[in-house]
Amino acid sequence: MSEAPAGSQRAAKRRSLVVGNWKMNGSAASNEALLAALKAAPLGDAEVSVCVPAVYLHDVADSLHGGAVHWGAQDCSSHESGAYTGEISAAMLAEFGCCHVIVGHSERRALHGESDALVAQKAATALKHGLVPILCVGETLAEREAGQTEAVVGRQLGAAIALLDKRIDGVVIAYEPVWAIGTGKTATPELAQEAHALIKSLHDTRVLYGGSVKPENAAELLGQPDIDGALVGGASLDPASFSSLCQIAASLS
Ligand code: PEP
């Protein structure tokens, strides 16, 4: 792990965390092949996790149990239990050995109208059940162009800090500029670093970058002082790309 330069206030760079977000992709057969390839691939010593569709958690837990790769889910309910048809509780995810759960992904904020307050509540519920929430924040293109990045990210993170107080220390933040997700457009390393430094000025924790991360751009992004890993969508479905990303991340921790 690299140390901060002498005299610097900056915390030492953290061990990298690389999280695959499979989104709504896969099938029982294709997952089996993907997991087999993942288990056989050299991943370096980065911390690695895959967040999979909930219906596959049983199979994924079975396959990854006892190995180095963690697993998790892509969302959880803000409620403990009850009449919430279609929702999955944090307690249920914990029963399947989940380590991580993504909350507040921009696709859920945009497509399911999830508010900052709801996302914060989901993080609280996840923490209560021993899961590590990966709380996504990030601005849309219109917000960036209007100079609102700082305000948007500050508002999203602020809601979680206000609710969680000291418990926020158990949360991993993922900075995912919405315009870079699944678009092939990546934030420049400088721009991503600037956003990560802003986030760490609000709360000093592990901050992952997400948005079209692939082996070709990973070294530059993950080499930034305040980028502690990556949340990876598309490239996590390709074992060779994901393995290569994990190795790059490990080499830069
Ligand atoms: C994501 O969905 O969190 C993501 C970063 O996707 P992609 O890597 O495909 O842009």
Query: What global pTM score does this model have?
Result: 0.94
Instruction: Give me ligand 1 centre to Cα 116, in Å.
Output: 20
Residue 6 reports pLDDT greater than 60: no
d(CA 184, CA 202): 29
Cα separations in angstroms, 170 against 134, 161, 164? 10, 11, 10
pLDDT at 5: 39
- Of the pLDDT bands very low, low, confident and very high (cuts 50, 70, 90), residue 102 is very high
pLDDT at 15: 85
Residue 205 reports pLDDT greater than 80: yes
The pLDDT tens digits for 119-143 are 999 999 999 999 999 999 999 999 9
pLDDT at 9: 52
Q: Whose CA is nearest to atom 2 of ligand 1?
A: 233
Instruction: Give me ligand 1 centre to Cα 108, in Å.
Output: 13
- Least reliable range by pLDDT among 3-7, 54-58, 185-189: 3-7
pLDDT at 184: 84
Residue 12 reports pLDDT greater than 70: no
The response to whether residue 213 sits with its C-beta less than 6 Å from ligand 1 reads yes
Q: Whose CA is nearest to atom 7 of ligand 1?
A: 233
Alpha helix (H) ranges present in 129-224? 141-145, 149-164, 189-202, 215-222
Cα separations in angstroms, 201 against 2, 128, 153, 165, 169? 20, 26, 12, 15, 14
Instruction: Give me ligand 1 centre to Cα 14, in Å.
Output: 22
d(CA 189, CA 191): 6
Choice among 70, 105, 114, 139 that is catalytic: 105
The pLDDT tens digits for 165-200 are 999 999 999 999 999 998 888 889 999 999 999 999
- Of the pLDDT bands very low, low, confident and very high (cuts 50, 70, 90), residue 42 is confident
Residue 103 reports pLDDT greater than 70: yes
pLDDT at 45: 85
Ligand 1 atom at minimum distance from 230 CA: 5
pLDDT at 223: 95
DSSP run (H or E) holding 50: strand 47-51
Instruction: Give me ligand 1 centre to Cα 84, in Å.
Output: 28
Fill in the DSSP letter of residue 129: T
Ligand 1 atom at minimum distance from 176 CA: 5
pLDDT at 1: 34
Average pLDDT, whole number, for the chain?
93
Residue 4 reports pLDDT greater than 70: no
